[in-house]
Amino acid sequence: MSYLEDNFSLKGKLAWVTGASYGIGFGIASAFAKAGASIVFNDRSQEALEKGFKAYADAGITDVHGYVCDVTDEEAVNACVKQIEKDCGRSVDILVNNAGIIKRIPMIEMSAADFRQVIDVDLNGPFIVAKAVLPGMIKKNEGKIINICSMMSELGRETVSAYAAAKGGLKMLTRNICSEYGKYNIQCNGIGPGYIATPQTAPLRERQADGSRHPFDQFIVAKTPAERWGTPEDLQGPALFLASHASDFVNGHVLYVDGGILAYIGKQPG
């Protein structure tokens, strides 16, 4: 076996990426499949699931199981874990808590119900899914959990109070899972993507009526030293690192994959 095979291969591993019919989750799951893992994904509806199956098939990925399962529904998640173990013949080795939503509403106009819903999907969801797979990982004395955090795990901005609260919380849940279960050779890390071109951020990149780029699009490109939006592919290498043996002593860390946003004070005037 080569160094790369020993350290970065996911052969024989079962990886569950939540909400991975498209977008960042699909990008990460595709990389894991190429590295040899069997893939499990879930989505909220049969329609999204079918779209996901087609996307995996189009990418030549065939070792895939998909389930309709809402990550906020603890009973459904527990049933899904049982079904995964039955269908795949092993428990989950790698979990990526990717499923997430955002609501862009000024805080004083946001209802408590909307705030709760974002916290439910983006923070309670990862707790529920991680809680469901941890016993299998503890039994094997091995496991990897990757929580998809955000720039908003560190920064605030207008209109995203619930999202920032959830993603900040997810960063601390990451550290706490590491603290509580590191002794079982379980590594729980986060990835903090910068601004990535997916359906979630499509409204921020919409062309204006006069054909010019959305002001937020221009703002993000100016704020990113790489001077571009990221893509789901940009997250593949970092996710593979955190899912593989190469990162066995990396724990409780959030790896920001942001083209340099967090390092940058912003464009100088003039």
Catalytic residues: 163
148 contact, one of ligand GCO, ligand NAP, none, CB 5-8 Å limit per kind: ligand NAP
Q: How far is the CB of 184 from ligand NAP (least distance, A)?
A: 25
SS3 39: strand
39 contact, one of ligand GCO, ligand NAP, none, CB 5-8 Å limit per kind: none
Cβ(124)–Cβ(83) under 8 Å?
Answer: no
| Contact string (CB under 6 A) for ligand NAP, positions 37-56, x = contact | -----xxxx--x--------
Q: Does 217 bind ligand NAP (CB under 6 A)?
A: no
Q: How far is the CB of 32 from ligand GCO (least distance, A)?
A: 21
Q: How far is the CB of 194 from ligand NAP (least distance, A)?
A: 7
Q: How far is the CB of 199 from ligand NAP (least distance, A)?
A: 4
Order the strands of the 38-43 sheet from edge to edge: 64-68, 38-43, 14-18, 94-97, 143-148, 186-193, 254-257
199 contact, one of ligand GCO, ligand NAP, none, CB 5-8 Å limit per kind: ligand NAP
Out of 23, 143, 168, 238, the residue judged to bind ligand NAP by CB under 6 A = 23
C-alpha torsion sign, points 149, 151, 156, 157: negative
Cβ(126)–Cβ(175) under 8 Å?
Answer: no
Q: Does 72 bind ligand NAP (CB under 6 A)?
A: yes
The residue range among 78-86, 130-138, 192-200, 236-244 that interacts with ligand NAP, by the rule CB under 6 A, is 192-200
Angle in degrees, CA 248, 78, 167, rounded to 5: 55
Q: Does 15 bind ligand NAP (CB under 6 A)?
A: no
Q: How far is the CB of 44 from ligand NAP (least distance, A)?
A: 4
User: Which of 93, 99, 98, 96 lies closest to 36 in space, CA to CA?
Assistant: 93
DSSP assignment of 46-108, as one string?
HHHHHHHHHHHHHTT--SEEEEE--TT-HHHHHHHHHHHHHHHSS--SEEEE---------GG
Contact residues for ligand GCO, defined by CB under 6 A? 102, 104, 150-152, 157, 160, 163, 193-195, 200-201
